[in-house]
Amino acid sequence: MQTRIAVMSIIVEDLEAAPAVNDLLHEHAQYILGRMGIPYRSRGVSILSVAMDAPQNTISALSGRIGSLPGVSVKTAFSSVVYEREETL
């Protein structure tokens, strides 16, 4: 299996969407290396940074699903290195 390292930046402007974001991230927990969440209370938003090591299509699909949620913005940066993994993550 080929995987790539990526960082997904997520801004949740509608806090009612937060449980849906968390559910999607939980579904992909096996690929998540680390996660940092910053509640920016004075602006009424949450900022998340998620580091992943997963197949590119998995990362892209997750990014698309999160980005399709109302009140949520997402951008993903990929490493240029592709890794070969024989074991499952």
Question: What digits encode the pLDDT tens for the residues 2-43?
Answer: 999 999 999 999 999 999 999 999 999 999 999 999 999 999
Question: What digits encode the pLDDT tens for the residues 47-80?
Answer: 999 999 999 999 999 999 999 999 999 999 999 9
* C-alpha to C-alpha distance for 89 and 87, rounded to whole angstroms: 6
pTM for the complete prediction?
0.89
For residue 89, being part of any structural domain is answered with no
What are the beta bridge partners of residue 28? none
Q: What is the DSSP letter of 11?
A: E
* C-alpha to C-alpha distance for 42 and 69, rounded to whole angstroms: 22
For residue 26, being part of any structural domain is answered with yes
Provide the number of structural domains found in the chain. Answer: 1
For residue 31, being part of any structural domain is answered with yes
Phi, psi dihedral angles at 87 (to 5 degrees): -90, 160
Phi, psi dihedral angles at 14 (to 5 degrees): -105, 100
pLDDT at 32: 97
Domain that holds residue 74: 2-84
| CATH of residue 74 | 3.30.70.1150
